[in-house]
Structures are given as C-alpha cells and as structure tokens.
Amino acid sequence: MEANIAVPNENNKETWGGGNVKPFGASYGKMMMWFFILSDALTFSGFLAAYGLTRFKFIDSWPIADEVFTHVPFMHGEYPMIYVAIMTFILIFSSVTMVLAVDAGHQMKKNKVAWYMFATIVGGIIFVGSQAWEWNTFINGTYGAVKTTEGKVLQFVKDGKQIALADFVVGERTDNRVQHTPKNGLWFESEKTISNYSVAQVVAAYNANPDIQVRTELMDMDLKKKTILSREEGALQLAKTKMVVEGANLRANEYGNTIFADFFFFITGFHGFHVVSGIILNIIIFFNVILGTYEKRGHYEMVEKVGLYWHFVDLVWVFVFTFFYLV
C-alpha cells in the first residue's frame, strides 16, 4: 500500500515557506518573549507545586498566615494581611499603567508613553521596597519562641492569644553568653546574632507566670488553631528546650515548620528578582523613549515586549500571594 504524501507546490498558498512571513502576525522579538514567559511559567509552576505538596505533607505543623503576616508599619499585629494586600494592589496597578503605556505607543504619543512608563517604574520600586520591609520584619520576628531537642517549636499564649517573649521575660541574658566573633578569640566558631534571652530565663519566667501557657506548632484540624497545652504539659515540653528562636532563617523560625521559611525566602525572593529585573528593563526603555529612539524607528514595539514581561511578573505574584497568604 502506497502512502499519499502531500508535496508543497506553488499553488499551495497555505504552506508557510519561511522568509519574511510572520506566523500569527507576531515579530521575532515578541515570539521569543512569549517563549521565555512560557519557560519561566513552568519554572514557577514547579516551585509552587513543590510548596503545595510540602504544605500538604506537613499540614498539621504549618504556620497560620494570619498570625505570620501581620506586618503593617506603625500598626504591627493589628491588621493581618492588609500590608500584603496593599503591595498586591500597587503591583497590579503598575500593570494597568503599563497597558496605558503600550496603548500610547500604538498611537505614537511619546509624552504619554514616558509618563506611564515612569508610573510603572515607581509602582515596581514601591513593591520591591515593601517586600524588603516585609522580609526584614519576617527575619527579625515578632513574638519569639523556643525550639526543643525534638525540633518542635513552642510559642507562648495568654488568654488564648500569642504573646511575645518580651511581654513576660524580664532582664538581660543571665548566662553571660558571649557573641562569637573573630575579635573575641572565637574565630573558629561562627554564629548568627544570639537571642535576647537565655533558655533558663524563658523557663523561669514561664514558671513565675501562672496565666501563661505553651502552644505547640501542631494544629487542631477541627478548630483550625494551634494546640495549647496545660501548664503541666507545657512545663514538660519546656524541659526539652534547646534554644530560643527569634525571627526566621533557613535553620529555624519562630512561626513553626522550618521548611515554611525556606520556601518563603526562595519563592518570594525569586519573584522579587524578576520584579527588579523588570524595573531595570523599564528604566532602560523609559530613557529610550525620552531620547526618541522609538520615534525614529516608527514604532514602540519594545514597550510592548517589556510590557508582556511585566504582566507576567504581576500574574505570577497573584499565584504566589494566593499560595502563601490566602490558602
């Protein structure tokens, strides 16, 4: 049996012969930007999928977002998630100004393109600055906790609400602990900044305050709240305390499971890198607009290409925001 093979000929107008023909009416530059966005989308999808699977695996010890992201300048702890919502609004609004810049470019209105690009850059800078402030607050911590020899994180509550170590532990470190630095002769031992309180101080303060209870990182799935121990159970768990934890890093964090901080730093940091890259590209395009580069070319396609990237960065943040802060 012979196979029938269609052979292109001069009368076959539907066959693309390459050359100057543009598939889908898109230029080479725009096609390559779409390819990059697709590959980057797959990368972020892999990261978020890994986060989702890990969270599902450790669902009983995962930090509660409303208790972690209470970072609002001058109103810390009063309005959870508000600051992140403001950051998200600013980034999305910058995507609107980018759309307006692209539209102005289609109309060859140089001044409008410049103003809208400038607004987009300002929005991106505000977002990155806000994210840096949030990172700083996350790293420095809010309440403080202790970590046991079993790797469990214990927090402290009063009347059902979490309280900071500073609220019931008084005085400075009582163990005369010296920070390890090259200057004090301990050059062979390096460490982060030591905690404000020693383990002995925390245990003593707990024993001296009968209205304070210990809360574990394990969640009561029915109540959707962390498990609060009785005074006796709390004392038994505190007897296993290995270290005082203030803030978050890649080895321990006061909010609960350490892997949460690992994912938070990596994924939000990776997205922040994309935003910074987008800001740099926007600044370059902005100055080219001011210099009239695209007026001479007769089109503003570069604005449209960088706009595709900026919209992608905004869209990714919507997913990051949903995974980390809302779900």
Least confident of 56-60, 172-176, 185-189, 273-277: 185-189
Contact yes or no for 267/48 (Cβ under 8 A)? yes
The pLDDT of 189-195, averaged and rounded, is 60
Q: What is the pLDDT of residue 16?
A: 47
**Higher pLDDT residue, 116 or 193?**
116
Query: Which DSSP state fits 247?
Result: S
Number of neighbours of residue 262 by Cβ within 10 angstroms:
17
Q: What is the pLDDT of residue 190?
A: 52
The pLDDT of 24-28, averaged and rounded, is 70
Cα–Cα distance measured from residue 185 to residue 45, given in angstroms and rounded to the nearest whole number: 48
The pLDDT of 192-199, averaged and rounded, is 74
CATH 1.20.120.80 boundaries in the chain: 26-141+260-326
- 10 Å CB burial of residue 78 (0-12, 13-18, 19+) is exposed
Cα–Cα distance measured from residue 32 to residue 65, given in angstroms and rounded to the nearest whole number: 38
In the numeric block, the tokens 């270290």 are attached to 243
Number of neighbours of residue 326 by Cβ within 10 angstroms:
10
Least confident of 7-21, 50-64, 286-300, 305-319: 7-21
pTM for the predicted model, two decimal places: 0.81
Query: Does position 24 have pLDDT exceeding 80, yes or no?
Result: no
Cα–Cα distance measured from residue 82 to residue 153, given in angstroms and rounded to the nearest whole number: 26
Cα–Cα distance measured from residue 282 to residue 275, given in angstroms and rounded to the nearest whole number: 10
Out of 16-20, 202-206, 218-222, give the one with best mean pLDDT.
202-206
The second-level CATH assignment, the architecture, of 26-141+260-326 is Up-down Bundle (1.20)
Classify 244 as helix, strand or coil.
strand
